[in-house]
Amino acid sequence: MDLSRETLIEVYRRMRTIRSFEENLQALVAAGKVGGFMHLYAGEEAIAVGVCMQLTDADLVGSTHRGHGHCIAKGVDVKAMMAELFGRATGTNKGKGGSMHIADVDKGMMGANGIVGGGIPLITGAALTAQVKGTDSLAVGFFGDGATNQGQFHESLTMAANWKLPVVYVCENNGFGEFTPTEFVVPVKDIVERAKSYSMRAVIADGMDFFDVYEKMGEAKALALAGEGPTLLECKTYRFYGHYVGDPTPYRNKEEAEDWIQNRDPLDIFERKATEAGILTTDDLREVDGDVEQLMREAVEEAEQAPMPSVDDVLTDVYVRY
Amino acid sequence: MARELNTGAAINEAIAIAMRTDPDVILMGEDVAGGGDRSKEGTEEMGGVLGTTRGLVGEFGMNRVRDTPIAEMGLIGTAVGAAATGLRPVAELMFMDFLGTSLDPLLNQASKLRYMFGGKVKVPLTVRTVSGAGMQAAAQHSQSLYWMTTGIPGLKTVIPSNPADAKGLLLASIRDDDPVIFCEAKGILNLVGEVPEEDYEIPLGVANVVREGTDVSLVAFGATVSTAMKAAKALEGAGTSAEVIDLRSLSPIDETAILTSLEKTGRMVIIDESTPRCSIARDIAAVCVDKGFDFLNAPVKCVTAPHTPVPFSAVLEQAFLPSAQDVLDAVGEMG
């Protein structure tokens, strides 16, 4: 394990922040304080953090409808995120985006996306910008197993492979597209098989293990930036709370869900590995838990007290000039 | 004598000027270079299906002039992403009918990113697309779908009527910081006219009074401007003075120019080569009734194509398109 103590603390802080953010949101939605469609990232933390710990602010990520985790992993301010979900003027998007469009371009977070597969060509375009301008920015597209049936996925990967764009495509295969099991609608056993038709490098990672994702993302990044072309990185994972907040999940097997949640929680796996390696102690981790709880309390309080947007804002930001 | 070009050549010149003056401008699309691979001796590029972009890959190279796969959603979506991250792409959607295979990046991404992100991103994208009937290209290569893009907040829609305007409006569109759908009507592509050699822009959203008149306003855009001019000349012979307004841009639209002309003439005919339902013509008619009711001395008339697909046979295609005679008939019905 060649990561420093400070780095591992930061990894755990981001993973715990994601989990806590989503658990708080679930309660806030249930209490009627937060509205709209909400898709929680809990269970998939090792992927966002494993990928984004390899990135800088100059690197760009494109996200999905399940985008809070990508934001937090990319370093977006949690308080501004919470304010956005409360629909406040102080939110990341001034209250105009909400959960499915949450974004912070200054942090290289190019937006959640309400269209399944819709973010894939956008991040491919970000990679095109990097290639045309000759910068060393990397583009990373997150999407689910369901998106790999979309034309936007196939069209984008075809172009990226042809042009050897500096992009890594991260498929979060959580076993379900909305409520339908992946194997009902995807004819390949592993998503990586799809990369063959673009002669694209493809790798499977354990999406519940930060260390596995981090290592494989590092390799993919190095190759992409060396002009060797994109990688399709498939991360096997599971949604702890189903498709959306309030999803009763009748479509999934209870034993299967319990097994993932009890035995393969990415935070537990991280804690076990980091403490067994003797780099972190449980005291270190519980201290982070306390810090995160405090942060969440403040985020919720401040969001509740933050001003609503002015109704005049309905009309702004449509065009630069019209 | 001033230099003359056809519209295609004027468009080519505008792209070349934009690329020379701004390294962030790139050109991408199906066949925009079009073969002629620099590694295959004895070949030349096509420069697009109509040859509009021929020669640009030679000057600007393959990094900035990119042939894409025939994958409209991927190519337009990638252009949107590039625009949002620092380039100023000119993407070619070969025919406007292919909106069908490219729509999500325009409908749900380019048009909304700025708004959804609270104004923290801009999308300086231009989508050039050939619209309209007149080449016997039949039902899937001849539609005038500018009413669709005009109806999407966040997009701009521009449609020139002649070579000089095409150059100036395209330069303005490329340099505009919002996503612009630039319609190249088939009816004007081979039109020849004087085109200034310099770098100039025509502002978006400002209509052009191409002919002054006092008795009836003919509002037109794209290929229907020449239809309106033909009708105006015929009306003149019959003692009716027609004013012809070229909108140049459908979104933003110059309502002031429309209402100013209506106030002057009291009678309004809109000529639109698209189908009538949810059309630009009826949109303008609504504006005239809503904001210009007191100016109206007769019912507003819309001269459009019928509510049908575009037919193949030249006879049928000409019957489909609005003609100068249709305009004369409409004026006649106004009494």
Partner residue opposite B85 with nearest CB, options A94, A114, A129: A129
Contact B226/B191 with Cβ under 8 angstroms? yes
Contact A71/A104 with Cβ under 8 angstroms? yes
Q: Residues 6 or more apart from B259 whose CB is under 8 A from it?
A: B287, B288, B291, B292, B295
Q: Nearest residue of A to residue B252 by CA position?
A: A322
Q: Give the per-residue pLDDT at B34.
A: 86
Q: Residues 6 or more apart from B33 whose CB is under 8 A from it?
A: B45, B47, B53, B56, B57, B62, B65, B66, B67
Pairing between strand B268-271 and B301-303?
parallel
Q: Which residues of B touch A60 (CB under 8 A)?
A: 85
CATH code for the domain in which residue B156 is found: 3.40.50.970
Q: Give the per-residue pLDDT at B279.
A: 98
Tell me: do B99 and B238 sit in the same domain. Answer: no
Average pLDDT estimate for B210-239: 98
pLDDT in tens, A221-235: 999 999 999 999 999
Residue B141: active-site member: yes
Tell me: do B149 and B183 sit in the same domain. Answer: yes
Q: Is B233 helix (H, G, I), strand (E, B) or coil?
A: helix
Instruction: Please say if the pLDDT value at position A270 is more than 70.
Output: yes
CATH code for the domain in which residue B219 is found: 3.40.50.920
Partner residue opposite B177 with nearest CB, options A62, A158, A321: A321
Tell me: do B65 and B163 sit in the same domain. Answer: yes
**How many domains does the structure of chain B reveal?**
2
Is B30 among the domain residues? yes
B122 with A320: Cβ contact below 8 A: yes
Nearest-neighbour CA in chain A from B1: distance (Å): 37
pLDDT in tens, B15-43: 999 999 999 999 999 999 987 666 677 78
Q: Residues 6 or more apart from A259 whose CB is under 8 A from it?
A: none
Q: Give the per-residue pLDDT at A249.
A: 94
Contact A94/B119 with Cβ under 8 angstroms? yes
H or E element, residue B67? strand B65-67
Instruction: Please say if the pLDDT value at position B1 is more than 80.
Output: no
What whole-number distance in Å separates Cα of residue B218 and Cα of residue B301?
Answer: 10
Every domain of chain A and the residues it spans:
5-306
Tell me: do B60 and B129 sit in the same domain. Answer: yes
pLDDT in tens, A139-182: 999 999 999 999 999 999 999 999 999 999 999 999 999 999 99
Instruction: Please say if the pLDDT value at position B204 is more than 80.
Output: yes
A319 with B205: Cβ contact below 8 A: no
Q: Nearest residue of A to residue B86 by CA position?
A: A129
Q: Give the per-residue pLDDT at B37.
A: 63
Instruction: Please say if the pLDDT value at position A1 is more than 80.
Output: no
A152 with B176: Cβ contact below 8 A: no
What whole-number distance in Å separates Cα of residue A130 and Cα of residue B24?
Answer: 11
CA angle A6, A10, A14 (to 5 degrees): 175
Q: Which residues of A touch B81 (CB under 8 A)?
A: 62, 110, 121-126, 128-129
pLDDT classification of A110: cutoffs 50, 70, 90: very high
Q: Give the per-residue pLDDT at B39.
A: 62
pLDDT in tens, B185-199: 999 999 999 999 999
Tell me: do B130 and B21 sit in the same domain. Answer: yes
Q: Which residues of A touch B109 (CB under 8 A)?
A: 113, 115, 118, 122
Tell me: do B272 and B330 sit in the same domain. Answer: yes
Q: Give the per-residue pLDDT at B234.
A: 98
A93 with B118: Cβ contact below 8 A: yes
Instruction: Please say if the pLDDT value at position B154 is more than 90.
Output: yes
Tell me: do B77 and B125 sit in the same domain. Answer: yes
Is B203 among the domain residues? no
Q: Which one of B64, B128, B141, B211 is the catalytic residue?
A: B141
Provide the percentage of residues in chain B whose pLDDT is more than 70.
99
Q: Nearest residue of A to residue B79 by CA position?
A: A125
Average pLDDT estimate for B98-105: 98
Average pLDDT estimate for B144-162: 98
Q: Give the per-residue pLDDT at A182.
A: 95
Q: Is the dihedral of CA A65, A165, A129, B24 positive or negative?
A: negative
Tell me: do B81 and B223 sit in the same domain. Answer: no
Query: What's the mean per-residue pLDDT of chain B?
Result: 96
H or E element, residue A155? helix A151-163
Report the interhelical angle of B280-291 vs B255-265 (nearest 10°). 60
Query: What's the mean per-residue pLDDT of chain A?
Result: 97
Tell me: do B147 and B186 sit in the same domain. Answer: yes
Average pLDDT estimate for A270-297: 97
Chain pair A-B, CB pairs under 8 angstroms = 157
Provide the percentage of residues in chain B whose pLDDT is more than 90.
94
pLDDT in tens, B266-294: 999 999 999 999 999 999 999 999 999 99
- Point out the least confidently predicted range of B30-44, B130-144, B220-234: B30-44
What whole-number distance in Å separates Cα of residue A141 and Cα of residue A143?
Answer: 7
Partner residue opposite A125 with nearest CB, options B85, B115, B153: B85
CA dihedral B103, B108, B111, B116 (to 10 degrees): -170
Number of other CB atoms surrounding residue B215 within 10 Å: 17
CATH architecture of A5-306: 3-Layer(aba) Sandwich (3.40)
Q: Which residues of B touch A95 (CB under 8 A)?
A: 118
Partner residue opposite B113 with nearest CB, options A60, A111, A158: A111
pLDDT classification of B68: cutoffs 50, 70, 90: very high
Contact A190/A204 with Cβ under 8 angstroms? yes
Strand partners, A202: A232
Q: Give the per-residue pLDDT at B41.
A: 75
Is B199 among the domain residues? no
- The domain boundary, picked from B133, B168, B194, lies at B194
Q: Give the per-residue pLDDT at B36.
A: 64
Instruction: Please say if the pLDDT value at position B184 is more than 70.
Output: yes
Average pLDDT estimate for A229-244: 96
A159 with B114: Cβ contact below 8 A: no
Expressed as residue numbers, the domain containing B266 is: 208-334
Q: Give the per-residue pLDDT at A244.
A: 92
- The domain boundary, picked from B155, B172, B194, lies at B194
- The domain boundary, picked from B146, B161, B194, lies at B194
CA nearest to B153, candidates B96, B102, B114:
B114
Q: Nearest residue of A to residue B124 by CA position?
A: A320
Tell me: do B91 and B183 sit in the same domain. Answer: yes
Q: What does A20-56 look like in DSSP terms, one character per residue?
A: HHHHHHHHHHHTTSS-S-----TT-HHHHHHHHTT--
